[in-house]
Amino acid sequence: MLREMIMKAFDWQRMALDKVPVEFLGEVALRSLYTFVLVFIFLKITGRRGVRQMSLFEVLIILTLGSAAGDVAFYDDVPLLPVLVVFVTLALLYRGIMWLMGHSEKLEDLLEGKPIVVVEEGQLAWEKLHAENMTEFEFFMELRVNSVEQLGQVRLAILETNGQISVFYYPDDEVRAGLSILPTHCTTRYTTIPQEGIYACVRCSIVMAMQAGEKRICSRCANAEWSKASRAKRLT
């Protein structure tokens, strides 16, 4: 009895084809080719950029396309012509919305969003960062990829509407003391300052002169942890 139940659980006929005939596999291949051609034509018409350059609105369009393409490729009861109508409608919608955004800054801001300044003069705008559902760890990783070791090297960093970060640097002779953004195991954090010097809040990056033995709550973000401010210059 147990063996019979196991055989039913691993029924290869059901797993491979279920109730459809083998000939249906050819139809699936044809449907897949059909959806591939439609998506290709759609992307050519809309002048598609790279995935990292897509805005939220454009990602929504692509997800809708993917849903329609998946249904027509795998389900035998989904006819082809209605899916073609979906693709044509989305292409016209995309073109129409892009035209309207070109004539309305408010609509563009609504659908695409606005660039956000997240570092200015070496200090992190952590409230804005959190409002965009991005943690300091993610942001610092992006900066490290751009060869930034500490925030004092950065004059301006902008979170673009497509999720990328534009970084503008200070010249070497203008680099300031700033928060080191190296991984946690590469820096030491203090709640009690070990010696007099310049320290940075590990949460909001504010830089302050502090005395040995001092314990201070950050006036900007109420954080109690500090690290020694770095004056490292960029290696280019």
Give pLDDT, residue 120. Answer: 92
Give pLDDT, residue 2. Answer: 45
pLDDT per residue over 54-65, tens digit each?
A: 666 777 777 777
Q: Are 123 and 224 found together in one domain?
A: yes
**Last residue within a domain, chosen from 52, 84, 110:** 110
Is residue 210 in a domain?
Answer: yes
Is residue 233 in a domain?
Answer: no
Q: What CATH number does the domain containing 199 carry? A: 3.30.240.20
Domain count, the chain: 2
**Last residue within a domain, chosen from 110, 137, 171:** 110
Q: Are 132 and 222 found together in one domain?
A: yes
Give pLDDT, residue 129. Answer: 80
Task: Look at residue 84 and tell me whether its pLDDT is greater than 70.
Answer: yes
- How many Å apart are CA 141 and CA 13, to the nearest integer? 48
Mean pLDDT of 13-20: 68
Q: Which domain holds residue 124?
A: 116-228
Q: Are 106 and 169 found together in one domain?
A: no
Is residue 85 in a domain?
Answer: yes
Its sign, for the CA torsion 41, 47, 53, 57, is negative
**Last residue within a domain, chosen from 110, 129, 154:** 110
Of the chain, the percentage scoring pLDDT greater than 90 comes to: 31
Task: Look at residue 194 and tell me whether its pLDDT is greater than 90.
Answer: yes
Task: Look at residue 150 and tell me whether its pLDDT is greater than 80.
Answer: yes
3-state secondary structure 181-234: CCCHHHCCEECCCCCCEEEEECCCCCEEEECCCCCCCCCCCCCCCEEECECCCC
Tell me the angle at which helices 80-103 and 56-74 cross, rounded to the nearest 10 degrees: 170
Give pLDDT, residue 178. Answer: 93
Q: Are 106 and 120 found together in one domain?
A: no
Give pLDDT, residue 1. Answer: 45
Give pLDDT, residue 49. Answer: 52
Is residue 235 in a domain?
Answer: no
Q: Are 180 and 131 found together in one domain?
A: yes
CB 2 within 8 A of CB 25: no
Band (pLDDT 50/70/90 cuts) for residue 6 is low
